């Protein structure tokens, strides 16, 4: 019999209304099973591990990612697949982080949740949960069909580290702007085999050292010297710079000088675009040529979520600054499509 471990971290899926405040808060797993009697009709053995405390995912923290990764490591041999119930707000961060932490994964780790609690009549939670379980259990010739960390939401399966939360109101809350869907659910569950991650690794290696030494500089026309200087002088090892278009920035001398000083002092500057679709192409425009020359690292088409968690993972790995910079520009878990220009 197929064995699935459900890891319940919280999120709207299991929330009820707090009678005192009227606000939604996470509740225990029993209320999920009570509302989905269909679970008993599945052909799988389901085991539940609830985190304590259950959280709204806006309170997510790398410590919880470490807890999830260690749990999967401990239970890896006992289960065919894993379903993580999680709030949608930071689900893309957790999925991205786990993709880097679980190297050589050969079993599905499917994150899902919902926009409406499971006890509400129009809820999207039941379909999300039931199909996520089906994906976690799916095998062909004894092998998992989707051996990667992914997000299932509103009839679509996405690679976790390519996904962003795009819509806070509609049921189709997620998008994967730079990578095709791994599967779509309709009358049939149609897997897009060609885009599902393939790797030659046969052993799971779990990485649990995550660094928090990551800063963010979001550019806008008119940003001033003091603000750029304040962010770049923060005590952190890397700064994600959210740039314009294909990775472009102002070419003003003061701006380039501040970036160069930060790089010369040992900070990594990772360039990702504020555009959701497309890639950073350092050197395509005059406005990014100098960035390449002073040693800015290209994030290509990384999502912000994948950029933050890839840095946390690489900076925590104990590798040298040069190796981290090289690995940032290397596709490790299907998170980037490298543009060669």
Q: What is the contact surface with ligand ASP in residues (CB under 6 A)?
A: 10-12, 56-58, 87-89, 113, 115
Nearer residue to ligand ASP within complex by CB, 56 or 335: 56
Q: Is the dihedral of CA 121, 125, 126, 127 positive or negative?
A: positive
**Which regions of the chain does DSSP assign to beta strands (E)?**
3-10, 15-17, 24-26, 45-55, 81-85, 102-103, 109-112, 139-140, 143-144, 149-153, 156-159, 164-165, 174-175, 183-185, 189-191, 205-206, 214-218, 238-243, 268-273, 297-298
CB of 259 to ligand ASP, least distance (A): 34
Nearer residue to ligand ASP within complex by CB, 12 or 243: 12
Nearer residue to ligand ASP within complex by CB, 91 or 138: 91
CB of 115 to ligand ASP, least distance (A): 6
- CA–CA separation, 186 and 156 (whole Å): 9
CB of 128 to ligand ASP, least distance (A): 10
Nearer residue to ligand ASP within complex by CB, 10 or 160: 10
Residue 13 sits at φ, ψ, to 5 deg, of -45, -40
CB of 8 to ligand ASP, least distance (A): 12
User: What number of other Cβ atoms are within 10 A of residue 13's Cβ?
Assistant: 28
CB of 238 to ligand ASP, least distance (A): 26
CB of 174 to ligand ASP, least distance (A): 11
Nearer residue to ligand ASP within complex by CB, 165 or 267: 165
User: H helices of 205-334, where?
Assistant: 225-232, 253-264, 286-294, 304-315, 321-328
- CA–CA separation, 47 and 174 (whole Å): 27
Q: List the one residue out of 17, 173, 177 whose CA is nearest residue 87.
A: 173
Active site residue 337: no
Q: List the one residue out of 145, 153, 147, 195 whose CA is nearest residue 175.
A: 153
In the set 12, 112, 163, 249, the catalytic residue is 12
Residue nearest to ligand ASP (CB): 87
Beta strands 205-206; 238-243: pairing state: unpaired
Nearer residue to ligand ASP within complex by CB, 115 or 211: 115
User: Which residues does the annotation mark as catalytic?
Assistant: 12
């Amino acid at each position: 019999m197929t064995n699935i471990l459900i890891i319940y971290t919280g999120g709207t899926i299991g929330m009820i209304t707090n009678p005192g405040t009227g606000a939604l808060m996470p509740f225990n797993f029993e209320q999920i099973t009570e509302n989905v009697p269909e679970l008993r009709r599945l052909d799988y053995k389901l085991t539940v591990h609830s985190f304590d405390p259950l959280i709204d995912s806006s309170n997510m923290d790398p410590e919880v990612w470490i807890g999830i990764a260690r749990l999967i490591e401990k239970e890896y041999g006992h289960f065919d697949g894993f379903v993580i119930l999680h709030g949608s707000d930071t689900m893309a961060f957790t999925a991205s982080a786990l993709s880097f932490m679980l190297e050589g994964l050969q079993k599905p780790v499917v994150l899902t949740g919902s926009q409406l609690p499971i006890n509400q009549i129009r809820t999207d939670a039941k379909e999300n949960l039931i199909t996520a379980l089906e994906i976690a259990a799916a095998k062909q010739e004894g092998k998992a069909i989707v051996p990667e960390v992914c997000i299932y939401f509103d009839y679509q399966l996405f690679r976790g580290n390519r996904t962003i939360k795009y819509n806070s109101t509609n049921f189709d809350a997620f998008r994967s702007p730079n990578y095709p869907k791994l599967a779509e659910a309709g009358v049939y569950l149609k897997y897009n085999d060609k885009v599902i991650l393939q790797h030659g690794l046969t052993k799971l290696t779990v990485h649990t050292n995550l660094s928090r030494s990551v800063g963010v500089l979001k550019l806008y026309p008119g940003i001033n010297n003091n603000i750029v200087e304040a962010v770049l002088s923060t005590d952190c090892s890397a700064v994600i710079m959210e740039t314009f278009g294909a990775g472009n920035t102002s070419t003003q001398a003061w701006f380039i000088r501040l970036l160069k000083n930060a790089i010369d002092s040992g900070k990594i500057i990772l360039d990702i675009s504020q555009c959701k679709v497309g890639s950073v192409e350092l050197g395509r425009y005059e406005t990014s040529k100098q960035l390449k020359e002073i040693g800015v690292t290209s994030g290509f088409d990384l999502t912000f979520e994948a950029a933050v968690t890839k840095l946390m993972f690489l900076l925590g790995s104990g590798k040298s600054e040069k190796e981290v910079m090289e690995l940032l520009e290397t596709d490790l878990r299907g998170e980037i499509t490298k543009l060669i220009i």
